[in-house]
Amino acid sequence: MKPLIVLSLLATLLVSGYSTGFPACVREHARQQTIRWGEIHSNNAISGYELSAQATLFVVQQNSQAEQLQITEKGSVGANLYCERLDLVRRAFIEVQALNVPGETRRFVEYRNPQNDVEMRAVWNPEYDTKGNELFRSVYDSLESLRKTVD
């Protein structure tokens, strides 16, 4: 009887897959990737959010004098929602490879993957709606809607 139970448990693990704590869209070479978005204020203070590769949402803040970011865990988003936003961010950076517009307050979307030495950031002035920042405004709004699911 015991071998049957062990075999049954082993088969269940094999069929359901071994959980690594990462959504299915996150490959081994990207397990340190992060997505950040938020605002950079005129005094260079930063307020925003970060999504880890484990679909965990964090609040990110940095005052103008601090060198270190203050990161506080907020909660977890669903794996499917995470994968959808990750795909959206990656596609946006492929389509619009450079966006840096000055302003008193600037919004940003950032993708980092230190395992592959990748860091991309789009920055724009939220006061102006232009063809150049249209895609990243949409990405930002999508990330904001995701954030609100954790509130």
3-state secondary structure of 42: coil
The 10s digit of each residue's pLDDT in 34-80 is 999 999 998 889 999 999 999 999 999 998 787 888 999 999 999 99
The 10s digit of each residue's pLDDT in 106-121 is 999 999 999 999 999 9
- Measured between alpha carbons, how far is 78 from 26 in angstroms, rounded to an integer? 13
Say whether pLDDT at 21 is over 60. yes
- Residue count of the chain, please give it: 151
Rounded to an integer, the average pLDDT of 97-102 is 86
